[in-house]
Amino acid sequence: MRTNPRKFSSPASAEKIPWCETGIFLNERPSYTLDPIFHSGAYYVQEASSMFVEQAFHQIEHSTNRIVLDLCAAPGGKSTHLLSLLKSNDLLVSNEVIRSRVSVLNENIRKWGHQNVVVCSNDPADFSNLEGLFDLILVDAPCSGEGLFRRDASAIQQWSVDNTNLCAIRQHRILADIWPALKSGGYLIYSTCTFNPEENEENLKWLAESNDFESIRIPLQENWGVQEMEIDSLFGYRFLPHKVKGEGFFLTLIRKKDGNDSYSIPKKIKSRLEKMPTQFAEIRNWLTTENSDFFAKSEFLIAFPEDKISVLNALSEQLRVISFGLPVAQFNKNDLLP
């Protein structure tokens, strides 16, 4: 599991996941659904290998006011991880195309307790009009799931050569659709939970054929057991279950060199946010909001960074925004329910 540093500290005696500062291994699997600490967002149950995203993130050049997209986000493991790594003046856009999975994503984001986040449900092609907006895009692509064979027998039964080929084609489309939305100088983290090169290294080589980018090397510790792959100066990182304490996983990090270096936010977009009614001003004492303010949406009061309102308005023009910010209270006439 991975702890929420704003809410919980892992036991000092716990075995640490070496590539994730807040990740720990458990000796046994408790019943999470019966744990109120879990429901309060104090920790997230996540596969250890997937937490390697943190090492990729640490290779990204530091900047402020970053706009980050987690494209295939449900159920929310990597989005909550990114929220813990990002600064309060950054903004995370957490997207899930499959509508039936959005509610789970939205719930996990809300539990994590951050204000600098927008949840949406869109196809990757819908981001094409946001050219050059994102400083970092994480694509944890849908794949054939070979990395789950050890723990999930149904993944073996569902596997076929045709399915792996279909997944590779789908991944090509996802990468091609989302590439324009990444600004020049921005970073792309691409990952899958599968082994075969067609969905991993071959996708990286395919992307390099028509786009200009730099492959970023991620430092490794020998005792991690992670394999570094290098093909034509392109680096990838493979997790094999018999060599790491985790399931199968692949990740690569690249830095874009072509395209737009920024997105111009239209100034004439009408804001969809209403300021909090003055009679509820007491809510300001409930939460440390840093650079955020409170807004009304339906019957809810929501904390959201004031300097990201223009970005939210631009996203709302192009995307199906499900939620934004942190719901703090619900009001009914003059009553206020935390």
Go through the domains of the chain in sequence order and give each one's CATH number.
48-256 (3.40.50.150), 274-337 (3.10.450.720)
Supply the pLDDT for residue 167: 93
Query: Dihedral (C-alpha) 307, 309, 310, 312: value to the nearest 10 degrees?
Result: 130
Supply the pLDDT for residue 334: 77
Helix (H, G, I), strand (E, B) or coil at 237: strand
Strands, E assignment, 216-320: 227-231, 234-239, 249-256, 274-275, 292-297, 300-305
Mean pLDDT of 187-195: 96
- Which candidate in 72, 120, 167, 193 is catalytic? 193
**Is-catalytic flag, 193?**
yes
Supply the pLDDT for residue 259: 81
For residue 203, CA distances in Å to 154, 251, 257 come to 26, 12, 18
Among 79-83, 221-225, 288-292, 315-319, the minimum mean pLDDT is found in 288-292
Partner residues linked to 234 by β-bridges: 231
Taking each helix axis from N to C terminus, what angle separates 161-178 and 201-210, rounded to the nearest 10 degrees? 40
pTM of the model: 0.95
- What are the structure tokens assigned to 33, written together? 């659904």
Partner residues linked to 231 by β-bridges: 234
Supply the pLDDT for residue 271: 76
CA 318/CA 129 separation, integer angstroms: 7
